[in-house]
Amino acid sequence: MEKKNLKGLTKEELYSFFEEIGEKSFRGLQMTKHMYQRGISDFDEMTDFGKKLRDKLKNIAYIEDIKTLRHLISSQKDTEKFLFGLSDGNCLESVIMSYEDHIGPSRLTACISTQVGCLMGCSFCATGKSGFIRNLTAGEIADQIIQMQKIIAPSERRIANVVMMGMGEPMLNYDNVMKAVDIINCAEGIAIGMRHIAISTCGIIPGIKKLAQEGIQVKLAVSLHSPFDEIRSKIMPINKKYPLPELMKALKEYQEITGRRITFEYAMIDGVNDDLKSAEELARILEGFTALINLIPLNNVTEYGKKRSTDEKIEKFKSFMENKGIRTTIRKERGTDINAACGQLRKKVLEEEKNE
């Protein structure tokens, strides 16, 4: 009999697993706590299971962790980047960022990946440049938080927010992403509230429609990057399949069903989408939405050949949107010394390996 990997099973699935192997279902709750709350993956450390049960588990199951290959801390100490190795030899990236707030200690936001590589090919993105390899399993998605939390545990900081904005397009790995959300949210597991989990999409309409029907309070972020179809298609090829008018219509329906605010991510690219015309059109297409615009100074991806907008232009764009009554923030640039932008570290390591 093939052994079963328990990492990635939800609490309910763990209840069923124990029942199926002839054990009491409450063992599923104990296993949830061991794997997801305490980050334990060795059955011998689960001392509330008797030796007989531990031996039985060893014969039929295992718990697979992702392995930390690199852990880099930015010179500002506000960003940490992780490169994790998977059992099939692939690797993925995750980031944690700290924000000082009024509560005192840093609250941490984890940016996690949902796929190895990405099919979407956005022109400014290092991940998009390296192509798509495979979907991550629910266990591999959730494990990024568990492993990062374990590594930073001595500092007593905690991951409080999760954004699925790392490598990959979450909506194209929908079922595993939803299962991972369940595991991340589970009160006896990682225990991060639904409102503190954000799913970011480049605009996959079927995924947005499905999410609207889930009845869960996760946040939705959409990468927009231009309010004009022609420019957006150049930056994000997916716009040819799901053009802006259709996307905005789907988002309107999403908002009507969920009543939830939508975050619009907008990379500021010099001379491409940072002019007054873009700002005016952006304000127009967002009319009637409860929206937050997050302006992102473009990260430097060598092959893209475009520059970030100047600080002055970014500030001007922000003021324009705010004058139109749309809440707008500017994302702080961080971690440039540790290749913190999506896909950059993985790409660098893969290139180094090729040159060895």
Residues found near ligand SF4 in the complex (CB under 6 A): 118, 120-122, 125, 127-128, 167-169, 202, 342
Spatial distance between the Cα atoms of 329 and 306, rounded to a whole number of angstroms: 22
Residue number closest to ligand SF4, CB atom: 128
Name the residue nearer to ligand SF4 (CB basis): 96 or 224. 224
Q: Is 202 a catalytic residue?
A: no
Structure tokens, 5: 């990997």
Tell me the closest approach of the beta carbon of residue 179 to ligand SF4, in angstroms: 20
**Tokens in use for 155?**
């500092």
186 is catalytic: no
d(CA 94, CA 85): 11
Complex with ligand SF4: residue 159 or 165, whichever CB lies closer: 165
Q: Which of residues 32 and 115 has its CB atom nearest to ligand SF4 in the complex? A: 115
- Classify residue 293 by its DSSP letter: E
Q: Using DSSP, state whether 299 is helix, strand or coil.
A: coil
Q: How far apart are CA 3 and CA 340, in angstroms?
A: 36
Closest CB 310 distance from ligand SF4, rounded Å: 23
Which of 25, 50, 30, 55 minimizes the C-alpha distance to 40?
30
| Sheet architecture: strand order including 158-164 | 67-73, 79-85, 91-99, 107-111, 158-164, 197-201, 219-223, 262-268, 291-297, 327-330
Cβ 238 to ligand SF4, closest distance in Å? 7
The CA-based angle 87-91-93, given to 5 degrees, is 135
Catalytic residue among 80, 91, 93, 169: 93
Which residue, 40 or 91, has its beta carbon nearer to ligand SF4? 91
Among 14, 218, 220, 234, CA closest to 122: 234
As measured in angstroms, the least distance from the Cβ of 336 to ligand SF4 is 17
User: Toward ligand SF4, which CB reaches closer, 106 or 127?
Assistant: 127
Annotated catalytic residues are 93, 342
